[in-house]
Every structure is written in structure tokens, then in C-alpha cells.
DNA sequence: GAATCCTATTTCACTAGATGAAAGCCCACC
DNA sequence: GGTGGGCTTTCATCTAGTGAAATAGGATTC
């Protein structure tokens, strides 16, 4: 990578990454990402998306193909394969998020019922937040479909919650409210979810701005804070009874 | 693995794969797989699992780390990261399985209710079947937790269903029954799920062998076949404009 | 039916970049 | 203070990944 050995005096710039990672692995992962987020995509589009020559993309896609991470549909196009699906499911049964989701699940259901709005759990992904679970509002007009969606931390209620400092003893989780950060007629209420060390996720209520106002807004906020405290309790409490 | 030594003189065997795929990409993917299926794992264990030197494993894990596919927990151990989670969720919203799951979902619920047994959807993964969705039995004694699990096609009811030939016009999906293939006291009833071209998945009822017998077995089988036909109808019928 | 255009696939010479043995480090435990 | 186990870094070696270009395979147009 850009050897650019500086023969004279001081180094030209602080070499950001002297550490070598695997280029092909990176590309294969990016390709996988492109295919999955597009749902179904042809070779040349995939190559263009990732910015590599088609011949190289082809080789990687083939590797992903015969490992079963991808499959080719009726003709030509690539899409998710069974191996990846297996992994995707495993990701929810093990790992740190499994505990979070298990701890949160019952409270999500309850929150959605009492507030009559859709409830989400989000986690941080660099400078973005990703919604990873939901229970939808029972109302006909409701917020739906944000699971898997990624939104910026900057300027959003989730962002503020995910960036919150660890909870000082005796304090309650702080509520963040925001209207129109992503879509103009959506109001978001969000609180951080703590696990003893610090923030590990966020709990959100999302709904139409004209309904989530006044007294309903206050009640939703209170219910949200209470739920966050219960979830934090479930996370810090050692043994897991339910699964 | 175990690349054939650059053997002396004459290349003995017929080179199985003259096609070169990316070794590092393959390894990174395997590493990712190991980490996710184990839930949380340290460097040396991961390296051992995959069969590569720790220094190499470290480089790959780091790459996965800063792409966000993995994270390091409290100290040292690797586990699923937010980027992978985003992908995992996307995999269920797009791609070929999304349609299958969407078409099947309502029928799963109904089947579980009327048969009082747990219902699963499985797809093929090479010589294995992977269960990708479920609705659990309402009974206290029930079959649970096989989502994400992978079982061999050979000797199982799912295997038989997933290997079934395309459905001849006028015929009904064929029922496969099996007891004890995987666990001795479990009976499985399975039918293929068709999408017009051929088998794309399988629908299974799994339950305790002593309960899934006699008249209950017959009724479950009938309900299963009917559900499979309805799902096949849903898969072939609606001309989805969305792309 | 030929011409045109687009995408997928194969080839191949080149060297960037992945590799792993070994050495160094850090911590926990004795 | 010592010892062992896992994590991290270094570095010389050469594999194996790379991409330009040529080829094949459709589809669509004229």
C-alpha cells in the first residue's frame, strides 16, 4: 500500500494504517453486503457497486456461491443463500445482542400495548444506529418497517440516547424526544438501555407526530423510562431464567 | 484444506479445482462463522477452530472488527457486531426467502393452532436442511429451538421433502413421516413447498412421538398438506411488481 | 439474418499483498 | 519473583489474488 518511504527527514504524514488487513476478504464481505442489501443483483451491478473489476467480483461471488452464502436465482442474479441464513439466525441466538433482545422482548410487548405506538430496540453501528427489533403499534395508523434500517446518530433521538454517558447511581435514564429528524411527521422518544457498564442499546417509541403529543406523549415517555429500567435490571441480574 | 503438497515431479491427481477462489476471503468467512456459532470466542480458540495460525486469524478478526461485523466484548473475546446484524436482518427482508417466509407466515400460525404442535419452515443447504422459521405449539410439552439448526438430508423427513421432484399437475404434495431420525422421541411430518418451478423449501410439524400418533397424526398430516398447497398458491399467484 | 450491444466468463503475466514462524509482550496466577 | 498462556508484532518468503483484454453468449434492433 503506497509504500512512499520517506527517504528524507520526517515522515510525510502519519501513516494511518500500517496494519495490513486482507483486501480480498474485505471485498468479499462488501460484495456480500451489496448482494444482500439489494436483495438480488447481477454481476456487473455488484462489481460497480463495490468498485472493482467484474472479473475479480466474479471470482469472489463464485466463492460465496459455493460456500452457500449466496445462491444464483432463475438466471444469473445473486441473492442470499442458506449458509448465510443459518448464520443470520445464529447471530440472534448467541452473542451479546441475544441477551439484550431476550431481556427486552416482554417489555417491548407491554410498552406497545400501553402506549399504542410501535416500539423499537436499536444498537450502535459506528456513526449510525440500527434498529434490530420491534413490536408494532396495535393502531391502524402506525410506524412500521424500520427493523434493519440504519439512521445517523447525529441529530436523532436514538443518536442522543446511544451516546449517553453511563448512568450515575440514583439517576434515571434520560428521555430524548425529537420530531422530524428523519421523516417530518414522525416523533421519536428514546431512552438508553444500560447493562451496568454503560449504554448497550436504545429503546424507542416511534409514531405519528400529531398523535404523540400532549398527554399521550408524557405517558409514553414515562412508560418508556420505566421499561428501560426494568430491562436494565434484567440485563444486570445474573442468571437468565427465560429463553 | 490440506492443499496437496507441491508434490515431487509429476502432478499425480487430476487437479480438482484449477479455479482459484480467494483463500483469505474463505478464511475470514469461516472465522466469522466460527465466532457467530460459538457466540463468543477468544483468538486462539477461533484460530484452532478454523485451523490457521493465530497471527493470521488475528489479522482477519481485526478486519472483521473494524468493518463492524464483529465486536470485542468486555475483554478479549469476539462476538457478533452491528454490521452483521444489519445484514442478517436485511437477509430476511429481501431475497428469495423473504417471499417464502411472507407467504408461509399466516399458515404457520394457523397450523400450529389447529394441530397443537410446533411448525417449522426449512430450506436446503447442500446436504443439510436448515430450519429458518417456526411457530411453536401452544402446549406445555412442545418442540422448540430448532430455528437456525441444521440437520442432514439423509434419513430425515425434511430431507425427503426437500429432495422431492417437482409437483406433477393434479397431484398433491407428498407427506413424509419419520420418528427418531434425529432424536428418538420426536416425530416429524414434512411436506415440500413448491413455487411453480420446483421445491423451494419444506414445511414441518415436529412433536413428541407419543402424542403425534393415531388420529392426531392423521389430522396433522392432512392439515399440513393443505397448508402447503395454500402456501404454494400464494407463492405462484401474486405477480409481484416490486423489484 | 445480420449487426449491435450488453453481460458473463476465461486467460494470463505480474506483483501486491497475504502468510506463518518466531520473538516479544502483557497479565494472571502460583 | 517466577512461570505459563494467550495476545500482538515483526519480517522474509512466495502464494495466490489481481485486472486488462480477449472470448463467448444472449438479447434486441434494424
Q: What are the DSSP calls for chain A, one per residue?
A: -------SSS-SS--S--S---HHHHHHHHHHHHHHHHSSB-HHHHHHHHTS-HHHHHHHHHHHHHTTSEEE-SSS-EEE-HHHHHHHHHHHHSSHHHHHHHHHHHHHHHHHHHH-SEEEEEEEETTEEEEEEEE--SSSS-----TT-EEESTTSHHHHHHTPPPPPTT--PPPEEEESSSSTTEEEEEEEEE-SSSEEEEEEEEEETTTS-HHHHHHHHHHHHHHHHHHHHHHHSS-----
Contacts of B13 (CB under 8 A, 6+ apart): B4
Closest A-chain CA to B33:
A87
Contact yes or no for A187/A208 (Cβ under 8 A): yes
Contacts of A15 (CB under 8 A, 6+ apart): none
Residue B96's pLDDT is 84
Residue A238's pLDDT is 52
pLDDT digits (tens, 9 = 90+) for B14-44: 333 445 678 889 999 999 999 999 989 999 9
Does residue B9 have a pLDDT over 70?
no
Residue A243's pLDDT is 38
pLDDT digits (tens, 9 = 90+) for B39-97: 899 999 999 999 999 999 999 999 999 899 999 987 789 999 999 999 999 998 888 88
Instruction: Determine, for residues B89 and A27 on separate chains, whether the beta-carbon distance falls below 8 Å.
Output: no
Does residue B120 or residue B7 have the better pLDDT? B120
pTM: 0.84
Considering only the beta carbons, identify the residue of B29, B36, B197 that sits closest to A91: B36
For chain B, give the percent of residues with pLDDT over 90: 74
- Average pLDDT of chain A? 87
Does residue A6 or residue A212 have the better pLDDT? A212
Contact positions of strand D to protein Cβ (< 7 A):
6-10, 15-21
Q: Cα(B183)–Cα(B162) distance, rounded to whole angstroms?
A: 20
Does residue A4 have a pLDDT over 60?
no
Does residue A204 have a pLDDT over 90?
yes
Residue B1's pLDDT is 34
Cβ-Cβ contacts under 8 Å, A24 against chain B: 22-25
Contact yes or no for B123/A80 (Cβ under 8 A): no
State mean pLDDT over B130-142: 94
Residue B74's pLDDT is 75
State mean pLDDT over B150-162: 96
Residues with CB under 7 A from strand C: A 1, 20-24, 42-45, 54-55, 58, 76; B 23-24, 27, 52-56, 59-60
Q: Which residue is nearest to nucleotide D15 (CA to C1')?
A: B23
Does residue B5 have a pLDDT over 50?
no
Contact yes or no for A22/B59 (Cβ under 8 A): yes
Q: Which nucleotide is nearest to A44 (CA to C1')?
A: C7
For chain A, give the percent of residues with pLDDT over 70: 89
Q: Could you tell me the pLDDT band of residue B238, with boundaries at 50, 70 and 90? A: low
Residue A20's pLDDT is 61
Contacts of A144 (CB under 8 A, 6+ apart): A118, A134, A136
Residue B19's pLDDT is 55
Q: Could you tell me the pLDDT band of residue A73, with boundaries at 50, 70 and 90? A: confident
State mean pLDDT over B101-105: 91
For chain A, give the percent of residues with pLDDT over 90: 74
- Average pLDDT of chain B? 87
Suggest the residue from A90, A144, A202 to mutate for an interface test with chain B (most B CBs closer than 10 A).
Answer: A90
The nearest CA of chain A is from the CA of B111 a distance in Å of 22
Q: Looking at chain A from residue 184 to 243, which residues have their Cβ under 8 Å from any Cβ of chain B?
A: 197, 243
Suggest the residue from A63, A88, A102, A152 to mutate for an interface test with chain B (most B CBs closer than 10 A).
Answer: A88
Does residue A131 have a pLDDT over 70?
yes
Three-state SS at B123: strand
Amino acid at each position: 500500500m503506497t509504500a512512499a518511504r520517506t527517504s528524507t527527514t520526517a515522515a510525510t504524514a502519519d501513516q494511518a494504517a500500517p496494519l495490513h488487513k486482507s483486501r480480498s476478504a474485505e471485498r468479499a464481505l462488501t460484495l456480500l453486503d451489496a448482494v444482500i442489501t439489494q436483495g438480488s443483483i447481477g454481476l456487473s451491478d455488484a462489481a460497480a457497486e463495490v468498485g472493482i473489476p467484474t472479473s475479480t467480483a466474479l471470482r469472489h461471488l463464485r466463492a460465496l456461491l459455493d460456500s452457500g452464502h449466496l445462491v444464483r436465482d432463475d438466471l444469473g442474479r445473486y441473492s442470499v443463500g442458506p449458509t448465510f441464513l443459518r448464520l443470520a439466525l445464529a447471530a440472534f441466538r448467541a452473542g451479546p445482542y441475544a441477551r439484550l433482545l431476550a431481556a427486552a422482548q416482554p417489555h417491548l410487548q407491554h410498552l406497545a400495548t400501553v402506549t399504542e405506538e410501535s416500539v423499537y430496540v436499536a444498537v450502535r453501528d459506528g456513526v449510525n444506529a440500527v434498529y434490530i427489533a420491534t413490536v408494532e403499534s396495535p393502531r391502524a395508523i402506525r410506524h412500521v418497517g424500520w427493523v434493519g434500517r440504519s439512521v445517523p446518530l447525529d441529530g436523532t433521538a436514538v443518536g442522543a440516547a446511544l451516546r449517553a454517558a453511563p448512568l450515575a447511581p440514583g439517576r434515571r435514564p434520560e428521555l430524548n424526544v425529537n420530531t422530524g429528524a428523519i421523516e417530518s411527521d414522525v416523533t421519536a422518544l428514546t431512552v438508553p438501555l444500560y447493562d451496568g457498564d454503560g449504554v448497550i442499546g436504545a429503546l424507542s417509541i416511534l409514531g405519528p407526530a400529531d398523535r404523540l403529543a400532549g398527554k399521550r406523549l408524557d405517558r409514553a415517555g414515562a412508560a418508556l423510562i420505566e421499561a428501560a429500567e426494568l430491562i436494565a435490571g434484567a440485563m444486570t441480574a445474573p442468571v437468565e431464567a427465560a429463553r
